[in-house]
Amino acid sequence: MTESVTITDNRTGESVEIPIEHGGIDGKAFAKHMPGVWFFDPGFGATASTSSAITDLDGANGILRYRGYPIEQLAESSTFLEVSYLLLFGELPTKEQLDNWVHDVTYHTFIHENMRKRFMEGFHHDAHPMGMLVSAIAALSTFYPEAKEIDDAHVRYKQINRLISKVPTLAAMAYRASIGMPFVYPDNQLNYAENFLSMMWKVAEPHYEPDPVLAKALDVLLILHADHEQNCSTTTMRVVGSSHSDPYSSAAAATSALYGPRHGGANEAVIHMLNEIGSYDNIEPFIERVKAGEERLMGFGHRVYKAYDPRARIVKEQADKVFQVTGKSPLLDIALKLEEIALNDDYFKSRNLYPNVDFYTGLIYQSMNFPLDMFTVLFTMGRMPGWLSHWQEMLEQDQRISRPRQLYIGPGERQYVPLSER
């Protein structure tokens, strides 16, 4: 048996054999023998848009590995900045490499004062932090015009560094602006997660003391969100980046894609759903509405995972640790009951609907006092190194500009009709 497919055009009787490599067949080989015939695949459910060495997903078995390392081991033993290095550069760093990387990220956390005074303070008081973040990330491109030199590896490194360093500062600024509190400058004595908590919560105390359990839980959640192969926002990063747009503009587009409730906005939607259910008694009627197609069980289902999302399992473990500090979320029991029912109901089992990364994440964020509209902002912070890793890989692969085809189903040629005759 050869690892290939043979495609026969029954209109001509001509056949072509195309090898199966890394689980795929080369579209160009197909197009060469079948000109003008396109694969129709809206949502890219059966399409590999690229090859990548960054993240390996096995959806059937619930396996997730970053550069070959299982997510469970990284969540247990690594840190978000070390994982960011691994995603970006392909190997776990030596101590010297990690120290240099952490130093570079730590010392680029400040934002240009014009950005703070004239931009972030310019938003309406009830502006959604994600709308602010999308805009602010794009605006960074105006402060660093050299970012357009995407072929210069040193210039790329500096922008990658700035985006990973500055997004927490922008994220905290968005929150502080929404509650009318003064911005808190970064504290370079704190680690990545601790510094973000300081910029979020510091009030009048001279030095913010982050809770170590909460800071560690946040760091683990950032690891879990760091990459997930060709999801909607990462595909957006690659598509926009393929036009050789600068990394800030590409990351702003990716952030916009993440904003949607079907994608990164689901963690916020889960809490709205749990609040709507409100009590045990309402769970069964809600499940019936989901099965009738009137509602979606947010935080459930996944395009790739047809088993339990391995990240959801780890999030659940972190939730127990957080709740020991913050007290148990009042919505936890409803979430656990929903999961128990869904995992035993044929409607969900037959559709391979399991909890995904967003199902329990929101409960942790809520217990840590993050407002709902900051949840997807936290997802953005976590996913930034993943987006940048794929952006860099796409440039190193020297990929062509993304430009898919279509199946035209509109009218044939017709003649213009003057307004007086319509």
**Out of 168, 247, 299, 385, which residue is the one contacting ligand SDX (CB under 6 A)?**
299
In 3D space, the residue among 166, 167, 195, 161 whose CA is nearest the CA of residue 85 turns out to be 161
353 binds ligand SDX (CB under 6 A): yes
Instruction: Give the active site residue among 302, 309, 373, 390.
Output: 302
Taken as a whole, the chain contains a residue count of 422
In angstroms, the CA 105 to CA 254 distance is 21
Q: Identify the active-site residue in 104, 263, 333, 345.
A: 263
Whether 263 sits among the annotated catalytic residues: the reply is: yes
Spell out, one character per residue from 236 to 265, where the chain touches ligand SDX: x when CB under 6 A holds, - when not: --------------------------xx--
Options 32, 289, 349, 351; binder of ligand SDX; rule CB under 6 A: 351
Among 75, 137, 177, 298, binds ligand SDX (CB under 6 A): 298
Q: Does 158 bind ligand SDX (CB under 6 A)?
A: no
The H-or-E segment that residue 18 falls in is strand 14-21
Of 83, 134, 297, 368, which one interacts with ligand SDX (CB under 6 A)? 297
**Interatomic CA distance for residues 76 and 367, integer angstroms:** 22
Q: Which region among 11-19, 76-84, 161-169, 289-297 touches ligand SDX (by CB under 6 A)?
A: 289-297
Q: Which of 65, 112, 296, 306 is in the footprint of ligand SDX by CB under 6 A?
A: 296
Kindly state whether residue 303 participates in binding ligand SDX, applying the rule CB under 6 A.
yes
- Distance of closest approach, residue 185 Cβ to ligand SDX, in angstroms: 31
Is there a catalytic annotation at residue 207?
no
Task: Choose which of 302, 335, 338, 365 interacts with ligand SDX (CB under 6 A).
Answer: 302
User: Quick one: which of 193, 215, 290, 322 contacts ligand SDX (CB under 6 A)?
Assistant: 290
Name the residue among 159, 226, 215 with its Cα closest to residue 384.
Answer: 226
Binding flag, residue 168, ligand SDX (CB under 6 A): no
Helix (H) or strand (E) holding 323: helix 310-326
Active site residue 125: no
CB atoms closer than 10 angstroms to residue 179: 8
- Residue 288, φ and ψ in degrees, nearest 5: -65, -40
Within positions 208 to 237, which residues make up the interface with ligand SDX, using CB under 6 A? 228, 231
Q: Which two tokens stand for residue 309?
A: 């999302």
Smallest distance, ligand SDX to C-beta of residue 87, A: 13
Nearer to ligand SDX, 112 or 291 (CB): 291
Rg (alpha carbons) of the chain, rounded to whole number: 24
357 binds ligand SDX (CB under 6 A): yes
Would you say 280 and 334 are in contact if contact means Cβ atoms under 8 Å apart? Answer: yes
Q: Least Å distance between CB 307 and ligand SDX?
A: 13
Q: Sheet containing 14-21: which strands, arranged edge to edge?
A: 4-9, 14-21, 24-25
Taking CB under 6 A as the binding criterion, the range among 18-26, 241-249, 296-304, 318-326 that sits at the site for ligand SDX is: 296-304
Which range touches ligand SDX (CB under 6 A), out of 14-22, 149-157, 191-199, 290-298?
290-298
Which residue stretches of 202-246 are H helix? 212-224, 232-241
Residues in contact with ligand SDX, shown as a per-residue x/- string from 358 to 377 under the rule CB under 6 A: x-------------------
Beta bridge partners of 401: none
Query: What is the DSSP secondary structure assignment for residue 242, as one 8-state letter?
Result: T
Helical (H) or strand (E) element with 394: helix 375-396
- Window of 114-122, 315-323, 350-358, 389-397 that interacts with ligand SDX by CB under 6 A: 350-358
The half-sphere exposure of 386 on its side-chain side, counting CA atoms within 13 A, is: 28
Per CB under 6 A, which region of 20-28, 196-204, 314-322, 348-356 contacts ligand SDX?
A: 348-356
The H or E element spanning position 314 is: helix 310-326
Helices (H), 11-149: 27-33, 71-77, 80-89, 95-106, 113-114, 129-143
The answer to whether 404 touches 73, Cβ cutoff 8 Å, is no
Catalytic residue numbers, as ranges? 263, 302, 358
Interface residue list for ligand SDX (CB under 6 A): 43, 228, 231, 262-263, 266, 290, 296-304, 351, 353, 356-358
